[in-house]
Amino acid sequence: MSLVTLMAPNFVMMLRMMNEGIITQFEPLVMGMVWSYSSIVDTHYAGFQFLTPTVLFVNSVFTFAQVIFSFLVVRYCQGKVSFRLVMVGAIISIALPVYVGISVVISSLMVGRLAYSGIIPVQLTVGYLIIRFKGAPEAVLWAE
């Protein structure tokens, strides 16, 4: 679960570049916890970046709750937290990226440029699969 949290992509932004009303290109920006990739040339995200201060600082805002969710999944499989607490962690881990995604779409439409911004729920999916197939020890199941 830790490897998925560190390396899986968790946020994508697609910018539509226009020149005189004609779509010229789509520019992707994909972020993971410790890396980012962008084909936008004149930005601090240009190219593939791994463990740079910009990536770590900006992405830490989006991924802090995902680290907590990862921790909760591991603790659930050890029988130390309840399923309900893991679900609260899952909701919190996607709440901020969804909010940012919606606000980016709205603000980009206000300036006349379409941009998609949203989450890639890889970590949430892997966490669900781990909980579903590994599960909690038998004692925790009876405690709930």
CA–CA gap between residue 83 and residue 130 (Å, rounded): 12
Q: What is the mean pLDDT of residues 23-52?
A: 74
Averaged pLDDT, 115-142: 75
pLDDT at residue 54 in the model: 73
State the pLDDT at residue 23: 59
Please determine, for residue 22, whether its predicted confidence score (pLDDT) is greater than 70.
Answer: no
Q: What is the CA radius of gyration of the chain?
A: 18
Task: Measure the CA–CA gap between 90 and 23, rounded to whole angstroms.
Answer: 37
Where is pLDDT greater, at 88 or 41?
A: 88
Q: What is the mean pLDDT of residues 112-129?
A: 78
Contact 28, 39 (CB under 8 A): yes
Q: Check if the beta carbon of residue 26 is closer than 8 Å to that of residue 3.
A: no
- Is residue 12 over pLDDT 60? yes
Cα dihedral across residues 108, 109, 113, 116: positive or negative: positive
The string of DSSP codes covering 59-113 is HHHHHHHHHHHHHHHHHHHTTSS-HHHHHHHHHHHHHHHHHHHHHHHHHHHHTT-
Is a pLDDT exceeding 80 seen at residue 77? yes
Query: Residue 127 is which amino acid?
Result: G
